Amino acid sequence: MNMAFEGIGINREEVYIANIVKCRPPNNRNPEADEAKECMDYLRNQVMLVKPKVIVLLGSVALKNILGNEYGITASRGKWIEQKGILYMPTWHPAALLRDDNKKIEFWKDLKEVKRKMKEIEIM
């Protein structure tokens, strides 16, 4: 992720990276609902401390755990969603880019939109 942000001119110091779960589940599988739920208070505290104006949600796990199960990554990626004063940009998880080269262009467009928005709201 650092290289992706640097590639579009966003400094690592301008970005805070957090995960839904704080321990990777066995065999690198997606976390189950109860595992994610166990870590949500910790993640909420991180968000309260950092006070982000923009959050990039990388993949379906992040999207569903942060914004709810009614959102799907295919329909939501690349579209701004605002909740409680925070702007969310859902996009593909980096692992998805390794499986499907076509997603790299969309991912890149999404990150460029994040940079544009950061400039617009003067956080860059």
pLDDT tens column, 37-81: 999 999 999 999 999 999 999 999 999 999 999 999 999 999 999
The type of residue at 60 is S
- Amino acid identity for residue 70 in this structure: E
Tens digit of pLDDT for each residue in 69-97?
999 999 999 999 999 999 999 999 999 99
The domains found in the chain, sorted by start residue, are: 2-120 (3.40.470.10)
DSSP 13: G
Q: How far apart are the C-alpha atoms of 71 and 63, rounded to whole Å?
A: 7
Q: How far is CA 83 from the centre of its chain?
A: 14
- The owner of tokens 């992720």 is 1
Of 58, 116, 109, residue with least CA distance to 88: 58
* pTM above threshold 0.75: yes
